[in-house]
A and B are shown apart, each in its own frame.
Chain A
């Protein structure tokens, strides 16, 4: 079942590449759309049939892959991954719809997009460290081309910057991963890449993997790899460039999924597998004990302040993403149930909300061909539906109670407050700044007098509404009734090494 979901897009890629002729652009788009619907259907099925009362992995598939290193093809989902798989599968067809207007080389674009989807879904399902890494890296290549070929004016710079940063992080991760593998056994006792097994070994007292010094170093290796992806200050500078240059659908994927790959990795590997390393950086004592929380705080405040200073609509959303990922970090650093629940929920919510925001930016950019916030004004009178949806997304993003953004951020901060009082209080400043830049943007773009240049601007069309509505519904539903999501990962969180 999971393999089907992972490899259907890959199969679709081959179909698009080899079975469809270059002139049949419409057909290519339709085929891709249908192909991306299949993982969505499977993901919905998984979501419904997932046994919420069990804590382990479900729908597992486990086969030997490369005997020499005991590498297995092991996939499965638990509460942590099932929501992210659903998010990925949901954004798939939405992004295809959002890419409908792309003219240059649509076939190659769609093929790369499908490859990207395989990488992303595979990453969230992988339970073998090697497989996990392969899928992690598999997303790099399509992303490089998608930004580099179909991006904005500075696309080449943005694409290579993204590529180099991520590869830099992932080579450090590779060292840590090999070290973990080598420590997991000896020449006589079989070594393993199996993530659940490694998690158990790292908890066994006396095992080489449980050695705190080793865990701290391994933690650093993995952390830098994921920190680039999240992105955590000071590894974040690729993100504004990549976001601004990427085409709309790719920005949606970047913000919605790729950033989550970083935080998901932090939970899955750093948190679950390296508890002693986690403890060293989050125990609130000593030189290093606050470091993760401080990084979360910097992300929140710095990201929000940068967003406030932007005049480019897309850059503003990009920086707001950095700020919102800070809440995930600070929730993780708290290492208690509330913090972690908040962090995981925030991952999902941010995926939905930031996807909406980028889609909305795309809508206005398609019409006005610029994104200068000060260059609009009064669009509310001409595009009432668009204005309404944007307001919903803004409110959700700035954390208005009743919408989904609020729940995740509140739980993260609540969890963090019991451990890092001062930092948590200071972090709430980020929410205030967030409210400021969103409201200010709302005012500059939609309120006031209509900018005469946009007398004839067209209202949002049906296709665009179709991309936004599912996400909008999710933000409202999860705002009112967050436990549909929380129930999914309650058990998975409870077996993580929490600290009360």
Chain B
């Protein structure tokens, strides 16, 4: 579809841009800086964008001369990303870390990063893929370093930039190789040309493998897979907690959207010759193992959740190595569930950081007697992250492993499941502190009704989706649409 005709289908993205600008202007104009007006404006922007995206629908359309694609897959990720961003906004309102004076820019940047993620979920051209990735990265660097008074936050931003620059540079090199070989940036065309070239034998498989590996550096960096995961614990620990939550969910989801589209629409035909799926299977096994083992000794809950988030990335990646629609469905379902349980866990971290002033496990001691509802909710999130029935995490784990075992990758399934036993150990350390140990300070904590309601927004799906998850399956199948051909 040509450029001008594409614009009506691009309204959600335009809405985000408009609201980002409005948020800044509002912040400049408003007398009382640091109010919550900017936050609510950003929320309205997100809601309008999602509604627009849903109204426009998910009929397959190629926009802007093949740069961007509008389909049910993109819509799915747009909704997921928007929900995560909206949660981040609500968390940020409650966060005491953030400097009220700069909250205007903060929310504008959040909208900008959302725009980048929308594009990550819908790009179908190598150039657009790279640009969307960079949009997200650049804004994320600033958000991670937003605590200007905190050296850790600056360190986080610096590490993030360094790693980001290296990996996106590497990815760009891989993209140029792929472009050089196929003569096009359109991933659909790349797919068919690679297929032709392989069948005619006029391509070096090694060259393709090399370019795929380089591209993987960029994608792997976004989803924090081994060996491109080094940045994430430091960034997660240093960044403001709402941003950590945001990065661990939205950024990961967008990364997976990009990964699936690129590797399944673009490079699937190359798998027969260069077997990138095996390479990814090894990466996946390493990612979850490294993430879990590194999480074991952590004392800082944020850092612990950062490593756990790495290992969940490895889990998700399992679904991506199977080359089946079941595998991709499992990724989508797991992402929905992960959204609720992980954001919920981070929200508790924020509440505790605000009230107790501690991010270490010691700060959680005896929480059950100080704030029973919070402690029970946290236990639900953590056990769900472990994947114990009847919580939602189990449903996600179940669907994922069913897909893996169906492809008879037993070694991967066994590594994955043993990892979930390891995971239990470190999640339970927090539970143990909350329930089995006694606090030095026994004063009970009080939280605003708004916070508790928001907490329930995460608890309820974590419970219900574990008991009945058939709709998730239907939704994921519909969202996958024609992606698998």
Q: With both chains docked as a complex, state the minimum distance between the C-beta of A112 and any C-beta of chain B, in angstroms.
A: 11
State which residues 330-367 of B face A: CB under 8 Å: none
In the bound complex, CA of A174 to CA of B383 (Å): 17
Count residues on chain A whose CB falls below 8 Å from chain B CBs: 31
Among A134, A137, A160, contact of B425 (Cβ-Cβ < 8 Å): A160
Does B203 lie at the interface of the complex (its beta carbon under 8 Å from any beta carbon of A)? no
In the bound complex, how far is the Cα of B434 from the Cα of A149, in angstroms? 11
Scoring A residues 131 to 154 as 1 if CB is less than 8 Å from chain B, else 0, what string do you get?
001100110110011001100000
State whether B390 touches A134 (Cβ < 8 A): yes
**Judging by beta carbons under 8 Å apart, are B435 and A148 in contact?**
yes
A146-181 to B contact mask, C-beta < 8 Å, 1/0: 001100000110011001100110011011001101
- The 0/1 profile, CB within 8 Å of A marked 1, for residues 391-420 of chain B is 000100010011001100010011001101
Q: In the assembled complex, how far is the CB of residue A478 from the closest CB belonging to chain B, in whole angstroms?
A: 35
Q: Which of B388, B389, B424, B435 contacts A145 (CB 8 A)?
A: B435
CB–CB A171/B421 < 8 A = yes
Binding stretch for chain B, among A62-70, A252-260, A422-430: A62-70
Chain A positions 43 through 81: 1 when the CB is less than 8 Å from some CB of chain B, otherwise 0: 000000000000000000000011111000000000000
Q: Contacts of B401 on A, CB cut-off 8 Å?
A: 174-175, 178
Whether A182 sits at the interface, judged by CB under 8 Å, is: yes
Q: Does the CB pair A68–B474 fall under 8 Å?
A: yes
* Contact A137:B388 (CB < 8 A) given known A164-B425, A167-B424, A174-B401: yes
B7 at the A/B interface (Cβ < 8 Å)?
A: no
Q: Does B189 contact A (CB under 8 A)?
A: no
A128 nearest CB across to chain B (Å): 13
Contacts of A140 in B (CB 8 A): 388
Query: Which residues of A have CB within 8 Å of B432?
Result: 148, 156, 160
Q: Are B473 and A134 in contact (CB under 8 A)?
A: no
B428 at the interface (CB under 8 A from A): yes
Chain A residues contacting B18 (CB-CB under 8 Å) are: none
B residues within 8 A CB of A69?
402, 473
Q: How far is the CA of A163 from the CA of B429 in the complex (A)?
A: 12
Known A-B contacts A155-B436, A175-B410; the reply to A163 vs B428 at CB < 8 A is yes
Q: Which residues of B contact A175 (CB under 8 A)?
A: 401, 405, 410, 413-414, 417
Distance, CA A406 to CA B421, complexed state (A): 39
A171 touches B388 (CB 8 A): no
Does B204 have its Cβ within 8 Å of any Cβ on chain A? no
Whether A172 and B417, one on each chain, are in contact in the complex, defined by CB atoms closer than 8 angstroms, is yes
CA gap between A159 and B432 in the complex, in Å: 10
**Bound-complex Cα distance A66 to B398 (A):** 13
Q: Which has the most chain A C-beta neighbours within 10 Å: B383, B425, B428, B474?
A: B428
Interface of A is mostly: helix
Contacts known (A134-B389, A155-B436); A164 close to B424, Cβ less than 8 A:
yes
Q: Which residues of A contact B202 (CB under 8 A)?
A: none
Pick the contact of B436: A159, A174, A179 (CB < 8 A).
A159
B468 in contact (CB, < 8 A): yes
Interface size class of B (residues with CB under 8 A): 20 to 34
B470 touches A (CB below 8 Å):
yes
- Is there contact, CB below 8 Å, between A171 and B469? no
- Enumerate chain A residues within 8 angstroms of B420, measured Cβ to Cβ: 167, 171
Cβ-defined contact, A137 with B389, below 8 A: yes
- Which has the most chain B C-beta neighbours within 10 Å: A140, A141, A181? A141
Count of chain A to chain B residue pairs whose CB atoms are closer than 8 Å in the complex: 73
Contact B402 A168 (CB under 8 A): no
CA distance A145 to B389 in the complex (A): 16
A141 cross-chain contacts in B, Cβ below 8 A: 383, 388
- Chain A proximity of B279: nearest CB distance (Å): 24
Contact in complex: A167, B421 (CB < 8 Å): yes
Task: Name the CB-closest residue of A to B372.
Answer: A108
The residue of chain A having its C-beta at the shortest distance from the C-beta of B468 within the complex is: A66
Q: Who on chain A is nearest to B369 by CB?
A: A105
A175 to B473, CA, bound (A): 20
Cross-interface CB contact of A171 among B405, B418, B425, B474, cutoff 8 Å: B418
- CB atoms of B388 and A182 under 8 A apart: no
Neighbouring A residues of B470 by C-beta, 8 Å: 66-68
Per a CB cutoff under 8 Å, which of B402, B418, B421 touches A181? B402
Complexed CA–CA distance, A145 and B432 (Å): 9
When the two chains form their complex, are residues B428 and A178 in contact, meaning their CB atoms are under 8 A apart?
no
Q: Which of A138, A179, A181 is the one whose CB lies under 8 Å from B389? A: A138
Contact among B406, B421, B435, B473 with A182 in the assembled complex (CB-CB below 8 Å): B406
Nearest CB to that of B423 among chain A residues? Answer: A167
B424 and A178 form a contact (CB under 8 A): no
Q: Which of B398, B401, B406 has the most CB of A within 10 A?
A: B398
Q: Out of B383, B414, B428, which one reaches A160, CB within 8 Å?
A: B428
Q: Hey, which chain A residues are within 8 Å of B473, CB to CB?
A: 66, 68-69
> In the complex, A160 Cα to B429 Cα: how many Å?
9
Which chain A residues border B424 with CB–CB below 8 Å?
Answer: 163-164, 167
CB B299 to nearest CB in A, in angstroms, measures: 17
In the assembled complex, the CB of A373 is this many whole angstroms from the nearest CB of chain B, namely 29
Q: Please, what's the 1-or-0 string for B418-462, where 1 marks a CB less than 8 Å from any CB in chain A?
A: 101100110010001001100000000000000000000000000
CB distance from B417 to the nearest CB of A (A): 4
Given contacts A164-B424, A181-B402, contact A66 B417 (CB under 8 A): no
- A66 CA to B402 CA, complexed, in Å: 14
* Cβ < 8 Å to A, chain B residues 460-476: 468-470, 473-474
The CB with the most chain B CB atoms within 10 A, among A65, A68, A69, A160, is that of: A68
B residues in contact with A172, CB < 8 Å: 414, 417
Complex contacts, A160 vs chain B, CB 8 Å: 425, 428, 432
Q: Which of A155, A167, A179, A182 has the most CB of B within 10 A?
A: A167
From B389, B398, B436, contact of A149 by CB (8 A): B436
Q: Which residues of B contact A163 (CB under 8 A)?
A: 424, 428
CB distance from A142 to the nearest CB of B (A): 12
Bound form: Cα–Cα A418–B233 in Å: 62
Report the separation of the CA atoms of residues A155 and B437 in the bound assembly, to the nearest whole angstrom: 11
Contact A138 B390 (CB under 8 A): yes
Interface centre among B401, B436, B470 (most CB of A within 10 A): B436
Output the least CB separation between B428 and chain A (Å). 6
Bound CA–CA A41/B69 (angstroms): 62
**Inter-subunit contact A178/B421 (CB<8 Å):** no
For residue A258, give the distance in angstroms from its CB to the closest CB of chain B.
16
A135 nearest in chain B by CB position: B389
Q: Which residues of A contact B428 (CB under 8 A)?
A: 144, 160, 163
Which residues of A, 415-457, contact B by the 8 Å Cβ criterion?
A: none
| Residues of chain B within 8 A of A68, CB atoms compared | 470, 473-474
Chain A nearest Cβ from B25, distance in angstroms:
48
Q: Does A66 lie within 8 Å of B469, measured CB to CB?
A: yes
Task: Say yes or no: A171 contacts B417, CB within 8 Å.
Answer: yes
How far does the alpha carbon of A156 sit from the alpha carbon of B428 in the complex, in Å?
11
Q: How far is the CA of A66 from the CA of B417 in the complex (A)?
A: 23
Rounded to whole Å, the gap between the CB of A432 and the closest CB of chain B is 39
Which B residues touch A144, using CB under 8 A? 428
**Complex: how many Å from CA A67 to CA B406?**
18
In Å, the complex CA distance between A156 and B436 comes to 7
B406 surroundings in chain A (CB, below 8 A): 182
Q: Residue on A with the closest CB to B418?
A: A171
Whether A179 contacts B405 in the complex (CB less than 8 A), given A138-B390, A163-B428, A164-B421, comes out as yes
With both beta carbons as reference points, the residue of chain B lying nearest to A137 in the complex is identified as: B389
How far, in angstroms, from A168 to B425 measured CA to CA in the complex? 11
Q: Which residues of B contact A (CB under 8 A)?
A: 383, 388-390, 394, 398, 401-402, 405-406, 410, 413-414, 417-418, 420-421, 424-425, 428, 432, 435-436, 468-470, 473-474
* CB pairs A–B below 8 angstroms (18 shown): A65-B468, A66-B468, A66-B473, A69-B402, A69-B473, A134-B389, A134-B390, A137-B388, A138-B389, A138-B390, A144-B428, A145-B435, A148-B432, A160-B428, A164-B424, A168-B418, A171-B418, A175-B414
> Which are the 9 A-B pairs with shortest beta-carbon distances?
A171-B417, A68-B473, A134-B389, A66-B470, A178-B405, A137-B389, A148-B436, A168-B421, A178-B402
Known: A160-B428, A171-B417, A179-B405. 9 other contacts (CB 8 A): A134-B389, A145-B435, A149-B435, A160-B425, A167-B420, A172-B414, A178-B398, A178-B405, A182-B406
